[in-house]
Amino acid sequence: MDVPGFVRFLREGNLSAAYERIKEQNCLPAVCGRICSAPCEAACVLMEEESPIGVRALERYAADFGKPRLSRRERVERKGKKVAVVGSGPAGLAASADLARKGYQVTIFEALEKPGGVLRYGIPEFRIPRKVLDGEINDIKALGVNIETNFFIGQTATVADLKEQGYAAILLTTGAGIPQFMDLPGTNFGGVYYGEEFLMRVNLMKVNIFSRNIPNFVIGPKVVVIGSGNTALDCARASVRFGREVKLIFRRTEEDMRVRPQEREYGKEEGIQLEPLVRPVEILADQNNFVSGVKCVRMDYAEAEESDAWELMPVPDSEFIIEADTVIIAIGHKPNSIIKRTTPQLKCDPDETIKVDSDTHMTAIKGVFSAGNVVTNAGPLVEAIASGKSVAEDIHQYLTK
Amino acid sequence: MYEILNKQILAEDVKRLDVSAPNIAKKIQPGQFVSVSPEEGDEHIPLSIVDTDPQKGVISLIFQEVGLTTGKLGTLPINESIFSILGPLGVPSKIDKKGVVVCVATGVGSAQILPICRAYRKAGNKVIGIIGAKTKRSLLLEAQMRLSCNKLLIATNDGTYERRGLATDILKEIVAQQKINFVYAIGSVDMMQAVCVFTKEKKIKTRVYLNPVMVDCMGMCGSCRVKVGGKILLACIEGPEFDGHKVDFQYFNIRMKAFEELDRWDNQKGLSSPKKSESGILTRFLSGILRK
């Protein structure tokens, strides 16, 4: 992305030019400006001297205020070839915007009722307002992209069916949506949710600070969230917004959390109690098979026996119980196995990610491409968008050959 | 988009909706289900399909009004549209010639088992249907079941119709009388567990159709996890049909009960209040204007 370019425009005060410059390369500026993990800020040369340039905040500013009232329709030369994009998450949206600009007739297939994927159903409203997301998606629709909802790949139609319908290329960006199950006794008790389920329920109900919707599922007064990633933090911050007492427990130290430090500070300010270096051992339940607490053990760095490296080891005799009425487990995701089952020709790795050619992004089937988290299993938003953009280039190469 | 073409009340709070959904009607096979969300922002609920008409593109849903979302679905009139129907979901059941097949169902399960009975009959099996119901009034689709099974036996808990007893009692009698090759069970957890314990003893292959709570029905939430043969599987993508002898019913029962105890919490008690307060605010506002 041309960061110096748009920052220069911003300095000149030319907001709309800055917006145009960003939009040329990134179709989701307002979303990125809010939730990007900002690798550019960590790599900034000013990092050592003082604070880095807040590229993310600048992008958000340009996207929010530089957007023209009436979006200009871009003129593109139609190539008359149809491309199907399965999944409307960040990778799918980025790829379809690029493909549409190149003149292909793109149709996005989305399983849920509205496009957006993880942006709509995985990330709570307080991080991405739905109005902003709708605006971005409308811009992509204005490029001539068709969006078909309530379409579940493999079930409503298979990859082979799509090929029969005349799609010259098919891009699978189905993401990694299935929770990684935790091997912990007691995960089947009432009041135990996986992070995806919790966020899904919250997002479907459109619960935010302003809405009067009340969650139609149990969130006890004391919530314990297990995990240290963005999903865990989102779950914790969403529970705080219901007025619950939230504890976030994780194995690592606070500095090793896989979130932006800024985000962690926001969580702390909102009143989340962080409990680093704690590993859950068992989930305890009362006589109704409802969660009553989590048995944990403290962890600490200790010298491993074989090597000199310091490793996280449980501290002996440090077991203790945290009282809880709801436990949310958010320790990771993996891709959905349904596409693998319904498309036997597709080659997959044991962890259910789709195998692709590293140069062309093509899967084992000719004309079927894949990108995003379904290939990399887990990664930040920017990576998904970047891989969506590069796969769009690859599809263009394949179709013009 | 998904227009309701016909609506019928079958029994106490059990309703049947005929919905136009050509894409799903073309594809769906016995054993699969759809996920329905009546209005924007509602939960998605898994519902089985009882009847399909691929030519007209119509699917028939049968459901019992038990919760908020099914209640809302039940109030939709003919010619209204359902916000979203996603499907077909789940793995279609493997139907082949087995010989004598017994299909056991209780409650709404007797609607879910109808397409399966038909499919087994079509594959050349002799199908014996057993329906268990609370009373005569809660009995569903009796005529259709009689037409699709070679023989239908009915038991009611209070003895108001046919014979008094449980569905499992009839199964035990039939197994004592003749050779049964296969048993299929849909219904309450207790019934399915009793059937599986019995057939395991008699070494009859059994399949059960589980109805766990689902949120998105695509495997994203992990809410429908069940333990089958020691492994945790998701009923929405690997089921909902499983080998009855491998299902851990104790695990399943705990998961099912987990959502029944919603009333314990105060966030449930307030459920009906937002609407009331909204209308209250509106009337107050309007009366204020009128007074001026």
The model's pLDDT over A231-262, given as tens digits with 9 standing for 90+, comes to 899 899 888 887 788 999 988 888 888 888 88
**pLDDT band with cut points at 50, 70 and 90 for residue B286:** low
**pLDDT band with cut points at 50, 70 and 90 for residue A216:** low
Q: Where are the alpha helices (DSSP H) in A211-274?
A: 230-240, 261-270
**pLDDT band with cut points at 50, 70 and 90 for residue A108:** very high
Q: Where are the alpha helices (DSSP H) in A66-148?
A: 90-101, 118-121, 130-142
Q: What's the mean per-residue pLDDT of chain A?
A: 83
Instruction: Please report the residues numbered 4 through 43 in chain B whose beta carbons come closer than 8 angstroms to any beta carbon of chain A.
Output: 23-24, 27, 37, 40-43
Q: What's the mean per-residue pLDDT of chain B?
A: 81
pLDDT for res B285? 58
**Backbone phi, then psi, for A248, in 5-degree steps?**
-110, 115
CB contact under 8 A, B264 and A177: no
Q: How far apart are CA A285 and CA A266, in angstroms?
A: 32
Predicted TM-score (pTM) of the model is 0.84
Please check whether residue B2 is in contact with residue B21, taking contact to mean a CB–CB distance below 8 angstroms: yes
The two three-digit tokens of residue A336, written as one number: 């959905």
pLDDT at residue B72 above 50?
Answer: yes
Please check whether residue B45 is in contact with residue B87, taking contact to mean a CB–CB distance below 8 angstroms: no
Listed residues A40, A65, A90: the one ending a domain? A65
Mean pLDDT for the stretch of residues A177-192: 83
pLDDT for res B270? 42
8-state DSSP, A355: P
pLDDT for res B271? 40
Please check whether residue B118 is in contact with residue B148, taking contact to mean a CB–CB distance below 8 angstroms: yes
Mean pLDDT for the stretch of residues A57-64: 88
The two three-digit tokens of residue A246, written as one number: 């939230």
- On whether both A321 and A340 belong to a single domain, the answer is no
* b/e per residue A72-100 (b: at least 16 CB within 10 A): eeeeeeebebbbbbbbbbbbbbbbbbbbb
Please check whether residue B80 is in contact with residue B17, taking contact to mean a CB–CB distance below 8 angstroms: no
What ipTM does this complex have? Answer: 0.77
8-state DSSP, A306: S
Whether omega before B115 lies within 30 degrees of 0, making that bond cis, reads no
Q: How far apart are CA A163 and CA A198, in angstroms?
A: 36
**pLDDT band with cut points at 50, 70 and 90 for residue B277:** very low
Among A109, A123, A155, the strongest candidate for a mutation testing the B interface, having the largest count of B CBs within 10 A, is A155
pLDDT for res B25? 86
> What are the DSSP calls for chain B, one per residue?
-EEEEEEEEEETTEEEEEEE-HHHHHH--TT-EEEEESSTTPPPEEEEEEEEETTTTEEEEEEE--SHHHHHHHHPPTT-EESEEEEEESPPP-----SEEEEEEETTHHHHTHHHHHHHHHTT-EEEEEEEESSGGG---HHHHHHHSSEEEEEETTSSSSEES-HHHHHHHHHHHS---EEEEES-HHHHHHHHHHHHHHT-EEEEE-----SSSSSSS-TTEEEETTEEEEHHHH-SEEETTTB-HHHHHHHHHHTGGGGGSHHHHGGGHHHHHHHHHHHHHHHHHHH-
In a domain, A72, yes or no: no
CB contact under 8 A, A179 and B271: no
Q: Which chain A residue has its CA at the smallest distance from B250's CA?
A: A188
Q: Which of A245-249, B53-57, B63-67, B92-96 has the lowest mean pLDDT?
A: B63-67
pLDDT at residue A114 above 70?
Answer: yes
The strand pair at A291-303 and A278-285 is best described as antiparallel
pLDDT at residue B269 above 50?
Answer: no
The strand pair at B45-53 and B33-37 is best described as antiparallel
- On whether both A187 and A309 belong to a single domain, the answer is yes
Q: Which of A57-66, B167-176, B226-235, B256-265 has the lowest mean pLDDT?
A: B256-265
In a domain, A74, yes or no: no
Listed residues A308, A331, A354: the one ending a domain? A331
Chain A residue numbers touching B88 (CB-CB < 8 A): 155-156
pLDDT for res B71? 82
Q: Does B68 touch chain A (CB under 8 A)?
A: yes
Nearest chain A Cα distance for residue B258, angstroms:
4
Of A157, A197, A216, the CB nearest to B223: A197
pLDDT at residue B282 above 60?
Answer: no
CB contact under 8 A, A212 and B274: yes
- On whether both A307 and A244 belong to a single domain, the answer is yes
What is the share, in percent, of chain A residues with pLDDT greater than 90? 3
- On whether both A261 and A325 belong to a single domain, the answer is yes
- The count of CB pairs under 8 A between chains A and B is 136
Question: Which tops the pLDDT comparison, B81 or B282?
Answer: B81
The two three-digit tokens of residue A345, written as one number: 């020709």
The two three-digit tokens of residue A284, written as one number: 């305890």
Mean pLDDT for the stretch of residues A166-192: 84
What is the share, in percent, of chain B residues with pLDDT greater than 70? 88
Please check whether residue A213 is in contact with residue A243, taking contact to mean a CB–CB distance below 8 angstroms: no
Helix (H) or strand (E) holding A104: none
Find, among A232, A154, A248, A246, the residue nearest to A196 by Cα.
A232
Q: Which residues of A touch B (CB under 8 A)?
A: 111-113, 121, 149-150, 152, 155-157, 177-179, 181, 188-194, 196-197, 200-201, 204-206, 212-220, 242, 288-290, 336-338, 341
- On whether both A243 and A299 belong to a single domain, the answer is yes
pLDDT at residue A62 above 50?
Answer: yes
Chain B residue numbers touching A189 (CB-CB < 8 A): 254, 258
Sign, Cα dihedral of A319, A322, A323, A327: negative
Helix (H) or strand (E) holding A13: none
Q: Tell me: the pLDDT tens digits for B151-179? A: 888 888 887 887 887 888 888 888 888 88
pLDDT at residue B1 above 80?
Answer: no
Please check whether residue A289 is in contact with residue A296, taking contact to mean a CB–CB distance below 8 angstroms: no
Chain B residue numbers touching A155 (CB-CB < 8 A): 27, 87-89
- On whether both A279 and A310 belong to a single domain, the answer is yes
Q: Tell me: the pLDDT tens digits for A354-385? A: 888 878 888 888 888 888 888 887 778 888 88
Q: Which segment, A43-47, A224-228, A307-311, is predicted with the most confidence on average?
A: A224-228
CB contact under 8 A, A190 and B278: no
pLDDT for res B290? 64
Q: How many CA atoms lie within 13 A of A278 on its CB side?
A: 22
In a domain, A112, yes or no: yes
pLDDT for res A206? 59
Structural domain including A53 reads 3-65
- On whether both A380 and A368 belong to a single domain, the answer is yes
Listed residues A331, A358, A387: the one ending a domain? A331
Nearest chain A Cα distance for residue B117, angstroms:
23
CB contact under 8 A, A157 and B227: no
In a domain, A7, yes or no: yes
pLDDT at residue B262 above 60?
Answer: no
In a domain, A87, yes or no: yes
pLDDT for res B283? 59
- On whether both A259 and A293 belong to a single domain, the answer is yes
CATH classification of the domain holding A157: 3.50.50.60
In a domain, A73, yes or no: no
- On whether both A253 and A132 belong to a single domain, the answer is no
- On whether both A315 and A341 belong to a single domain, the answer is no
The two three-digit tokens of residue A88, written as one number: 């409307």
CB contact under 8 A, A217 and B223: no
The two three-digit tokens of residue A297, written as one number: 């053990």
Find, among A124, A135, A33, the residue nearest to A381 by Cα.
A33
Of A113, A193, A289, the CB nearest to B37: A113
Domain count, chain A: 3
Please check whether residue A199 is in contact with residue A234, taking contact to mean a CB–CB distance below 8 angstroms: yes
- On whether both A212 and A321 belong to a single domain, the answer is yes
pLDDT for res B276? 40
CA angle B15/B55/B235 to nearest 5° reads 55
The two three-digit tokens of residue B206, written as one number: 């059994």
Sign, Cα dihedral of B227, B232, B236, B238: negative
- On whether both A107 and A161 belong to a single domain, the answer is yes
- Is the CATH code 2.40.30.10 the one for domain B2-89? yes
The CATH number of the structural domain formed by B91-209 is 3.40.50.80
In the chain, the amino acid numbered B31 is G
Number of CB atoms found within 10 A of residue A104's CB: 25
For residue A289, is it left (φ>0), alpha (ψ between -120 and 50) or beta? left
Nearest chain A Cα distance for residue B155, angstroms:
31
User: Would B2-89 and B91-209 be classified into the same CATH topology?
Assistant: no
Residue that the structure tokens 């009282």 belong to: A323
The strand pair at B182-186 and B205-209 is best described as parallel
In a domain, A384, yes or no: yes
Chain A residue numbers touching B85 (CB-CB < 8 A): 150
What is the share, in percent, of chain B residues with pLDDT greater than 90? 0
**pLDDT band with cut points at 50, 70 and 90 for residue B267:** very low
Find, among A118, A19, A126, the residue nearest to A383 by Cα.
A118
Q: Which chain A residue has its CA at the smallest distance from B38's CA?
A: A113
Residue-range domain boundaries for chain B: 2-89, 91-209, 211-262
In a domain, A291, yes or no: yes
